[in-house]
Amino acid sequence: MKIGILGGLTPQATIEYYKLIINKYQTEIDSSAFPEMVIESVDVSKVHHLTTGKKDQQLIQYLSESMNDLMQAGADVILIASNTPHLFYEEITRNVSVPVISILDATSDEVIKSNKNRIGLLGTIPTMQSNLYRKPFINTEIQIFVPEITEQDFLQEKIFKQFSRGIFIKEDIMAVENMIQQLNSKYKINGLILGCTELPIFLKQDDWKDIELFDTTSIHVDSLIRFLKKKP
Amino acid sequence: MKIGILGGLTPQATIEYYKLIINKYQTEIDSSAFPEMVIESVDVSKVHHLTTGKKDQQLIQYLSESMNDLMQAGADVILIASNTPHLFYEEITRNVSVPVISILDATSDEVIKSNKNRIGLLGTIPTMQSNLYRKPFINTEIQIFVPEITEQDFLQEKIFKQFSRGIFIKEDIMAVENMIQQLNSKYKINGLILGCTELPIFLKQDDWKDIELFDTTSIHVDSLIRFLKKKP
C-alpha cells in the first residue's frame, strides 16, 4: 500500500504528517519498515491567492491535477494534509479512483465519540466561516463556536505569514491561547477542534484541563492507520 | 517546473532536502511562492536489506520504479536525495526522460573548485568502499581518504539505526568527530565530504577551522537552484 499525501498546504504541516505517519506506522503496523509514500507538495501561496480571490474553479482545477498526479504515481490511498481544501472535497475527489480519507469525517467521528457538545473551532477563515465543521454535526446536539471576526482575521494572517513558515513566536502563541480563553468564558466550551494542521505544533492537551483538544492532524493519521490495518 | 525528489533514503534527510529547497528557492528565485514538488518516499529498510544482501538487480528495479512514478507525477527535474543510490545512477536513470541532477557531479565540481586535494570521505559503507567518490577525481591531484574498517562499521550502523531515525546522541556525535580527527592526523586532510545526507545535520563548518566541509545535501540543492534559474 502506497500512501499519497496532498501536501504543501503548508510545508510545515506536511512535515508533521510525514513524521507522524512514519512514527505511527512503525508503532502500530511494522516496526522494521518505513511506509511507502508519495507526497505532492503544491504552492500554498497560489492556493491562498485563489482562495482569497474566490477563484474556486481554478483552485479545484489546481488541486484536482495534484490528486491525479498522486494516482499516476501509484498512491493506493490519499490524505489531503490540510483542513481548508476539504471545502472542495467532493469536487477534488470526483475523478479519484482510490479512497481519500477525509479529515472532517475522521475528526467529527472523534468529537461525537467524545460526548463533548460545546466545541470551539480554530482554523483559517474559510474553515471557521463555512459549514465545513458544522455540516457533520447537523442532527446532533453538538454546537460549534468560533472567535470574533477581528480575531479570525488575526489568526488567518498568523497562519499564512508565520505558522506556515515554521515561525512560532511567544506573543502569537499567547494571542491564540487568549482566543481559546475568550471562547471558553463566552461559550463554556468543553472541546476545541484544532482545525488547522499548524495549531497542534504549539497547542498541547496538557495545558488545557477542561477542554478536550481535537488535533486534526493526529486524528487524520490515526484514521489512515486504521485503514491500513484493515487491508491485507 | 515541478521538482521530483527520490526520498525516504532516509526520511530525516528528505525533510532536510524539502526545507532547504523551499528556503533556497524563496531566497534566490521567488520569495512569494513555494516550489511545486513531488516526493517519492521509499522504504529505506528494504533498500538497506537489498544493499547488504547484494541484491543489486532488485534494488535497481525498486528505485527505477520510483523514478518512473516521479515522472508519471509530472516531475520536470529529479534529485535522488541520498549519496549511496548514486552507485546505480546510470541504471536507475536509463529510462528517465527528465534531467536527474547527480549529487556526485555537484559535489565533485565543488571539491575541484575549492583547490583542496586531500579529502576525507564519510558515508555509508558502500559510499566509502566503492569508487563512487573516487571516479570523479581520476586524472586529478585529488586524493580520497576513508576511516579504518572498524570505524566504517560503526558509522554504517549509526547511520541506519540512529541518524536515519533522527536520533543524534552526544556520544555518537563525538565518535564521528573523533573519526575526523583521526583522518586528519593520519592523512592531513584539508577537505571532508559529508557523503551521507544525515551528517550535515550535526557537523558544522564553524567547528572545523582547517578542513573545508562539503555538505552534499546543500551542494546538491544549490545545483538544483542553478538549474532552475537557467530555465525560462
Residue B49, CB half-sphere, CA atoms under 13 Å: how many? Answer: 10
What residue has cell string 485563489? A50
Closest A-chain CA to B30: A45
What pLDDT, on a 0 to 100 scale, did the predictor assign at position A53? Answer: 85
Taking only the tens place, the pLDDT of each residue in B2-32 is 999 999 988 989 999 999 999 999 999 999 9
Residues B89 and B126 in one domain: no
Q: Which three cell numbers stand for residue B99?
A: 534531467
Q: Which three cell numbers stand for residue B68?
A: 518512473
Q: How far apart are CA A86 and CA B13, in angstroms?
A: 30
Q: How far apart are CA A82 and CA A96, in angstroms?
A: 18
Domain that holds residue B37: 3-102+219-230
Buried b (16+ CB within 10 A) or exposed e, B129-146: eeebbeebbeeeebebbb
Q: Please indicate if any CB of chain A lies within 8 Å of the CB of B175.
A: no
Taking only the tens place, the pLDDT of each residue in B37-58 is 999 999 999 998 998 888 999 9
* Contact check, Cβ <8 Å, B11/A22: yes
- Using alpha carbons, select from B28, B48, B11 the residue that is nearest to residue B225: B28
Residues B210 and B193 in one domain: yes
Lowest mean pLDDT among A156-170, B67-81, B198-212: A156-170
Residues B66 and B158 in one domain: no
ipTM here:
0.91
Q: Which three cell numbers stand for residue B58?
A: 532488485
* Contact check, Cβ <8 Å, B34/A45: yes
Residues A96 and A193 in one domain: no
Q: Please indicate if any CB of chain A lies within 8 Å of the CB of B44.
A: yes
Number of domains in chain B: 2
For residue B198, pLDDT over 90 is answered with: no
Contacts of B45 in chain A (CB under 8 A): 32-34
The residues near A155 (Cβ < 8 Å, ≥ 6 apart) are A122, A123, A124, A125, A128, A147, A176, A179
Work out the number of other CB atoms within 10 angstroms of the CB of residue A36: 20
CATH of the domain at A137: 3.40.50.1860
* Contact check, Cβ <8 Å, A39/B41: yes
Residues A113 and A207 in one domain: yes
Residues B111 and B59 in one domain: no
* Contact check, Cβ <8 Å, B45/A37: no
Residues A195 and A126 in one domain: yes
Q: How far apart are CA B192 and CA B157, in angstroms?
A: 20
pLDDT band at B232 (very low <50, low <70, confident <90, very high): low
What pLDDT, on a 0 to 100 scale, did the predictor assign at position A89? Answer: 96
A21 class by beta-carbon count within 10 Å (0-12 exposed, 13-18 middle, 19+ buried): buried
Q: Which three cell numbers stand for residue A76?
A: 493506493
Residues B161 and B132 in one domain: yes
Q: How far apart are CA A15 and CA B21, in angstroms?
A: 14
For residue B200, pLDDT over 80 is answered with: yes
